[in-house]
Amino acid sequence: MSASPPGFELVTDNRDCVVLRLTGDWLQDAAQRPDFADVERELHGLSMQALVADAGELGEWDSILAAFLLQVYQLCRDAGADFSTRQMPDGLDRLLGLAMAVPRHRREPEPRRPWYTRMSGRGLLRELIDRGNITLGFIGEIALAFGNLLRGRSNTRFSDFRECCYQAGPDAFAIISLTSILVGMILAYLGAVQLLQFGAEIYVADLVVIGTLREMGVLMTAVVMAGRTGAAYAAQLGSMQANDEIDAVVTMGISPMEFLVLPRILALMVMMPLLTLYANLLGIIGGGIVAGGMGITPLMYIHEGQTALTLTHLNVGLAKSVVFGLLIAVAGCRAGINCGRSSSAVGQAATEAVVTAIVYLIIADAAFNIIFQQLEI
Amino acid sequence: MSAAHIEVRDLCMAYGSRVIQRDLSFDINRGDIFVIMGGSGCGKSTLLRHLLGLIEPTTGDIRYNGRSFVQANETERDVMRRSWGITYQSGGLFSAMTVGENIALPLQLYTRYSRNEQADIIDYKLALVGLAGYQDYYPSEISGGMRKRAALARAIALDPEILFFDEPSAGLDPISSSLLDELIVQLQASIGATVVMVTHELPSIFGIATNAVYLDAASKTMIAYGKPQELREHSDEPVVRQFLNREPHEASEESA
């Protein structure tokens, strides 16, 4: 069947009534379709009381015609004219009836200030202070919950703690192994190239041992755990929030801090030093592999490494790891507990947890190094 | 070409070794408002996901317009899917797009409308579901009932031949849900589509369904097929009569 092109004709029956005669096939594939603007232009000059849409010569039709007629209807209504139809296909008449049934919703225009006024220093400062307040409040609640735990009046369950320990510890072995060996190797390469110029390549062992124990072992473990466990905490608690589970915990008379947050924080604070020890060992082995490739025998590497290895260096790393564990867990749990109730909010919470945790880590690490420098540790 | 729009033949659905439903055979005729009903956990939504091709059946066949969907390849399936409109249980609107952009997406993908025409069509589709003027709202800014209607507007964007609904009235108050039912009937009558609906809301079932199938969780197969009003009075299965008359019975406790 060959489609005849769609069109319309405006006929003025008498002074007040305009007839809109629709002709041809109004289909979306038609090459040339009349535009609503055409009707609007032609109707503009006429002061009409009523408009009748006549479909007596209409062929086939689809949504595009209905959309067209709806606009004509709206034009009539705005002009205060009556709109009626004649010889419409039954379905089209029903559809128009549905579409005209509910008046158009008008959105209140929101006052939008230009971006530079929204970027004001005071606003940014206030936002920063608000965020700080939330975090401080959160830390305060953790402290109270911890106090309750010490006095034996807490609702923290040991089984939750054990489960969290398993997730934060043994489950992370594989990825920690990979990253720490590689970081040990990177340290060794970095040092070896420089030390070779002085013929002092044996000191690669010192560099790897001190660098890994004091800095890289713990920092890389913390970064991996922030991405792995911190984000998981935010996602777990966030989806509990979205699922009304946290409300259920509260209405059972249990503090979510004691029940949900504390086991996670404690688990990470316990597992981080253990993971750091493991990462230190693997980092030193990784450095040894590279040193072996440069002609330093394993025995020489171990001997030289032993002279650099002191308890102080080890303790510096372990002290950092406990604090880093606390920071990662706080960032993750805070983002999760303050999560919104939609599924997209859970994703935002996980992202926020990782970003905040890494910022915390870098700041804390810098602070540690300054303090240790001043104390000459 | 066979008369039925959708034919289900000896369909068996299973997750791994756990059989959900077996030996399902029924027809959905053109222009029907067809309801898949049954107690909680009987596999209603699973059947719908099979019809939509989101899950592959273990055995059996599903035919649209006499053409097998199960044996069709991905390209053929996409062509078949283009004539479907689907409304998911919680709407399934893309939360990162406004309502208008949600409806524009199928238009951009599958039609050659100009930007202005798209805007006209969006306006018209939203007016149909009673949401004219809500183009610029994000799904999170409107109520649950409005989200369902907006999802319906997206489903009918391409004038589909088949409309699928998963629990259209779940989470809606009786008034919104009866308005939605009314809207479905009106749309069905005017665009002449076949409607396939999963629900266990009795008002919807008796109000709008022209044909129905009842899936039983205990025997893991369909035990009734026909017009709901007739099933309520004359079904051979006591479970179906109890379900449709809203009487408590022991079997439903077990299967729940």
Helix segments in A231-310, DSSP class H: 231-242, 245-251, 256, 262-293, 298-308
Q: What share of chain A is helix, strand, coil (3-state, %, to 5)?
A: 70, 10, 20
Q: What is the pTM of this model?
A: 0.74
* Mean pLDDT of all residues in B206-213: 90
Enter the DSSP assignment of B91: B
CB B87, CB A62: distance < 8 Å: no
**Look-up of token digits 């002009």:** A79
The answer to whether A36 contacts chain B (CB < 8 Å) is yes
User: Which of B7, B37, B1, B3 is CA-nearest to residue B21?
Assistant: B37
Alpha helices (H) in A169-260, listed in sequence order: 173-196, 204-211, 217-225, 231-242, 245-251, 256
How does DSSP classify residue B140? G
**Gap between the Cα atoms of A139 and B213, Å rounded:** 57
Measured between CA atoms, how close is B123 to chain A, in angstroms? 7
Which helix H or strand E contains A76, and what residues bound it? helix A63-79
Total Cβ atoms within 10 A of residue A45: 6
Pair of tokens at residue A262: 């504390």
Q: Which uninterrupted H or E stretch holds B60?
A: strand B59-64
Residue A285, Cβ neighbours under 10 Å: how many? 17
DSSP letter string, A130-157: HHHHHHHHHHHHHHHHHHHHHTT-----
Which residues of B are less than 8 Å from A94 in CB distance? Answer: 186, 189-190
Q: Would the pLDDT of B4 be above 50?
A: yes
Beta carbons within 8 Å of A228's beta carbon, 6+ residues apart? A172, A175
CB contact under 8 A, B117 and A99: no
- DSSP letter string over B70-82? SSS-HHHHHHHHT
With a cut of 70, say whether residue B254 has pLDDT above it: no
Which residue carries 């006052």 as its tokens? A111
Report residue B155 as tokens.
């489903």
Nearest to A333 by CA among A258, A235, A252, A190: A235
From first to last of the 377 residues of chain A, give the pLDDT tens digit.
Answer: 456 788 888 887 766 788 888 888 887 777 777 777 877 777 777 777 788 888 888 888 878 888 888 888 888 888 888 888 888 887 788 888 888 877 888 777 777 777 777 677 888 888 889 888 988 999 999 999 999 999 988 888 889 999 999 999 899 999 999 999 999 999 999 998 899 899 888 999 999 999 999 999 999 999 999 999 999 999 999 999 888 899 998 898 888 999 999 999 999 999 999 999 999 999 999 999 999 988 899 999 999 999 999 999 999 999 999 999 999 999 999 999 988 887 778 999 999 999 999 999 999 999 999 999 999 87
Closest residue to A98, CB basis, from B112, B123, B186: B186
3-state secondary structure of A14: coil
pLDDT tens digits along B115-171: 888 888 899 899 888 888 898 888 888 888 888 889 989 998 888 889 999 888 877
Whole-angstrom Cα distance, residue A316 to residue A286? 21
Q: Which residues of B touch A29 (CB under 8 A)?
A: 112
d(CA B164, CA B173): 21
| Residue B224 structure tokens | 């009734």
B120 vs A36, A90, A98: nearest CB: A36
Q: Do A102 and B125 touch (CB under 8 A)?
A: no
- C-alpha closest to that of A333 among A359, A357, A364, A365: A357
Please count the residues of chain A: 377
Would you call A281 exposed, middle or buried from its count of C-beta atoms within 10 A (0-12, 13-18, 19+)? middle
Alpha helices (runs of H) in chain B, residue ranges in sequence order: 44-51, 74-81, 99-110, 115-128, 144-155, 174-191, 202-208, 228-234, 238-245, 250-255
Q: CB-hemisphere CA count at 13 Å for A22?
A: 28
| Residue A332: CA count within 13 A, CB half-sphere | 31
Q: Which of A29, A63, A100 sits opposite B121 (nearest CB)?
A: A63
Q: In whole angstroms, what is the distance from residue A53 CA to residue A97 CA? A: 14
Pairing of strands B18-29, A50-61: unpaired
Mutate to test the interface with B, among A62, A85, A105 (most CBs of B within 10 A): A105
Q: Which helix (H) or strand (E) holds B67?
A: strand B67-68
Q: What is the pLDDT of residues A181-216, one digit of tens each?
A: 999 999 999 998 899 899 888 999 999 999 999 999
Q: State the Cα–Cα distance between residues A342 and A339, nearest whole angstrom.
A: 9
Residue among A63, A71, A94 whose CB faces B189 most closely:
A94
User: What is the residue type of B7?
Assistant: E
pLDDT 10s digits, A137-196 = 999 999 999 999 999 888 888 899 999 999 998 999 999 999 999 999 999 999 988 998
Number of Cβ within 10 Å of residue B29's Cβ equals 13
Q: Which two tokens stand for residue B179?
A: 């308005």
Token pair of A12 as six digits: 């003025």
Q: Of A275, A170, A288, A291, whose CA–CA distance to A220 is shortest?
A: A275
* CB B169 within 8 Å of CB B199: yes
Neighbours of A355 (CB within 10 A): 15
Q: Give contacts of A66 with chain B, Cβ < 8 Å.
A: 124
| 8 Å CB contact of A342 and B125 | no
Percent of chain B whose pLDDT exceeds 70: 96
Nearest to B196 by CA among B182, B212, B207: B212
A70 interfacial to chain B (CB closer than 8 Å): yes
User: Which residue of chain B comes nearest to A97, CA vs CA?
Assistant: B128
Residue A182 CA to residue A185 CA, distance in Å, equals 5
Q: Residue A28 and residue B192: Cβ atoms within 8 Å? A: no
Residues of B in contact with A68 (CB under 8 A): 120
Burial of A253 (0-12, 13-18, 19+ CB in 10 A): exposed
In chain B, residues with a C-beta closer than 8 Å to the C-beta of A71 are 120, 123
Q: Which of B131, B133, B159 is opposite residue A63, by nearest beta carbon?
A: B159
